[in-house]
Amino acid sequence: MKLSKHTLCVLMILLFVVLHSRAQENGQSPLPPKYRMELVHIFELGSTEFIFVIGNIGFKSVASLKEYLGTLPAGSTIEWAPGCIRMGGEPLLSSEQEMEDFKAFCAEKNINFILVPAG
């Protein structure tokens, strides 16, 4: 028995629909999203500014970053690998207390914060 490409395509779509509906019936939900965070340095004559970036969204302060993170679904993951080169004055990285406060905030909001150590 030889199936046409059209018939095979229809069968694949039906299989996908059945598997998807069974996953929903079993209470399985999609995995929470994972985001990568970066710290961008903006150089201006006489000063340096730092901006956190997640996707294509930038945040000028830890407070605005936290406001955004508070809107993410519970169980979301934020991964940050800031590297080992420091200029001084970087938010979160220049203060152990600020970093601990940020980690506590993420835990309170049920956000998995993964800090990838430099090395």
| Per-residue confidence (pLDDT) for residue 48, from 0 to 100 | 84
pLDDT tier at 4, thresholds 50, 70, 90:
low
Domain span at 62: 34-115
| Pair 21, 69 in one domain | no
| Pair 12, 56 in one domain | no
- Domain count across the chain: 2
| Pair 23, 43 in one domain | no
| Pair 75, 102 in one domain | yes
| Pair 44, 74 in one domain | yes
User: pTM above the 0.85 mark?
Assistant: no
Q: Is 50 helix (H, G, I), strand (E, B) or coil?
A: strand
| Pair 43, 95 in one domain | yes
| Pair 110, 90 in one domain | yes
Q: Which residues contact 59 (CB under 8 A, 6 or more apart)?
A: 51, 52, 53, 65, 68
**33-73 pLDDT per residue, tens:** 999 999 999 888 788 899 999 999 999 999 999 999 999 99
Q: Which residues contact 78 (CB under 8 A, 6 or more apart)?
A: 35, 36, 37, 54, 69, 106, 111, 112, 113, 114
- Least confidently predicted of 11-20, 53-62, 102-111: 11-20
